[in-house]
C-alpha cells in the first residue's frame, strides 16, 4: 500500500521529518550569542546599531572602535568628542552621517561660562561635512572695552548670571570683525555649525541645530542585507558579521572559504 511508504517508522519521509525537526531544534537552541547580543537598541527615538554601541547597555564588540556612545537620563544619545559632549539628533546609517549639537545650550537662560570648548576630531573616524561654517565664541570679553565698540557690541550674547566686567561675544568665522575682537576678548573657541546661504538665524538657533559629521567605519550593508549583525573582534581587530549560526567574515552568505581568508605574515626568511 502507498500508506506504508509514508508512515512506517523507517520510511524516507519519516526520517526526513525527524531529521528536520532535530536540526531545527538544534539551530534554535544555539543561536550565536554574539548575534543575540548585538540586536539594535534604541535610546530615546534613535535606533542604535553598528558602528555605534551604547556603553553599559551593549557589548563593545557590537560596535566599531571609537564609536562608543551613551544614553543619558533624558533619553538623549550622547557622543563625547575630546572635551565636549554632543547630543546626537539624527543618525543616517546609509550616508554614514550624524547630526550633532552641543549638549551645552546657548540661550538667555544658559550661563556663559566657557562650557563649549574647541572641537577636536582626533583620529580619522569623524569628518566635518562640507556645508558648515564655524561660530566663534569669546567668553572673556572686557565689558568696558566692548562698550566703546558699537559694532562688536551687536554681537554680545545675553547670558544669565554674568558679572558686569566680563561679556560673551559670538560671531561667525567669516565675520570681518573677527580680527579686531581678540584684543578685547582674548582667545575664542570655535564651534562648528551648519549655515545655509542667505539665512539669518540666531546664534542660539545655530548651535541648537548643530552640524553634520561624516564617519568612516567598516561598511555594514553586506552583512546587514544577509541577515547578520555587524560587529568587531577586538582581539583580532577585525570586522565581523555575527550571524544566527556563527560569526562570519563579511556576510552570512559567505562560506568557509572567506572565513579562513587571512593575511599570511612571513616571519624571518
Which residues make up the interface to ligand NAG (CB under 6 A)?
Answer: 34, 44-47, 61, 73-75, 92, 94-95, 97, 109, 118, 129-131, 163-165, 187, 189-190, 196-197, 200, 212, 233, 235-236, 247, 250, 254-255, 257-258
**Closer by beta carbon to ligand NAG, 81 or else 190:** 190
Is 85 within 8 Å of 74 (Cβ atoms)? Answer: no
What is the greatest pairwise CA distance in the chain? 109
Query: CA 24, 29, 34, 37 torsion: positive or negative?
Result: positive
- Please report how close the Cβ of residue 149 comes to ligand NAG at its closest, in angstroms: 19
Minimum distance from residue 6 beta carbon to ligand NAG (Å): 37
Q: Which is nearer to ligand NAG, 74 or 269 (CB)?
A: 74
Question: CB of residue 230 vs ligand NAG: minimum separation in angstroms?
Answer: 12
| 225-235: b (≥16 Cβ within 10 Å) or e | eeebbbbbeee
Min CB(69)–ligand NAG separation in Å: 15
Q: Where are the alpha helices (DSSP H) in the chain?
A: 2-7, 12-29, 33-37, 143-147, 150-153, 178-185, 203-209, 221-225, 256-259
Q: Of the two residues 14 and 189, which places its CB atom closer to ligand NAG in the complex?
A: 189
Task: State the minimum distance, in angstroms, from the CB of residue 54 to ligand NAG.
Answer: 12
**Contacts of residue 151, Cβ cutoff 8 Å, sequence gap at least 6:** 177
Q: Tell me whether residue 124 or residue 199 sits nearer to ligand NAG (CB atom).
A: 199
Q: Which is nearer to ligand NAG, 11 or 85 (CB)?
A: 85
Measured distance CA(69)–CA(85) in Å, rounded: 10
Amino acid at each position: 500500500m502507498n500508506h506504508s511508504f509514508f508512515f512506517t517508522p523507517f520510511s524516507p519521509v519519516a526520517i526526513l521529518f525527524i531529521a528536520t525537526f532535530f536540526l531545527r531544534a538544534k539551530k534554535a537552541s544555539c543561536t550565536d550569542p554574539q548575534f543575540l547580543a548585538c540586536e539594535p537598541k534604541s535610546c530615546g527615538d534613535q535606533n542604535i546599531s553598528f558602528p555605534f554601541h551604547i556603553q553599559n547597555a551593549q557589548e563593545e564588540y557590537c560596535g566599531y572602535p571609537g564609536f562608543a556612545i551613551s544614553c543619558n537620563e533624558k533619553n538623549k544619545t550622547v557622543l563625547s568628542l575630546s572635551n565636549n559632549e554632543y547630543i546626537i539628533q539624527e543618525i543616517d546609517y546609509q550616508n554614514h552621517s550624524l547630526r550633532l549639537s552641543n549638549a551645552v545650550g546657548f540661550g538667555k537662560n544658559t550661563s556663559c561660562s566657557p562650557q563649549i570648548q574647541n572641537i577636536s576630531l582626533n583620529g580619522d573616524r569623524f569628518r566635518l561635512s562640507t556645508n558648515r561654517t564655524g561660530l566663534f565664541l569669546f567668553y572673556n570679553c572686557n565689558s568696558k572695552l566692548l562698550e566703546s565698540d558699537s559694532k562688536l557690541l551687536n554681537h554680545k550674547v545675553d547670558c544669565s548670571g554674568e558679572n558686569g566686567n566680563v561679556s560673551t561675544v559670538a560671531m561667525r568665522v567669516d565675520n570681518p570683525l573677527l580680527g579686531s575682537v581678540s584684543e578685547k576678548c582674548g582667545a575664542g573657541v570655535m564651534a562648528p555649525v551648519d549655515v545655509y546661504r542667505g539665512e539669518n538665524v540666531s546664534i542660539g538657533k545655530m548651535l541648537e541645530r548643530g552640524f553634520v559629521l561624516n564617519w568612516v567605519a567598516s561598511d555594514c550593508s553586506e552583512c546587514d542585507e544577509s541577515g547578520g549583525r555587524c560587529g568587531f573582534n577586538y582581539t583580532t581587530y577585525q570586522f565581523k558579521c555575527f550571524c544566527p549560526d556563527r560569526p562570519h567574515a563579511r556576510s552570512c552568505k559567505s562560506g568557509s572559504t572567506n572565513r579562513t581568508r587571512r593575511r599570511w605574515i612571513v616571519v624571518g626568511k
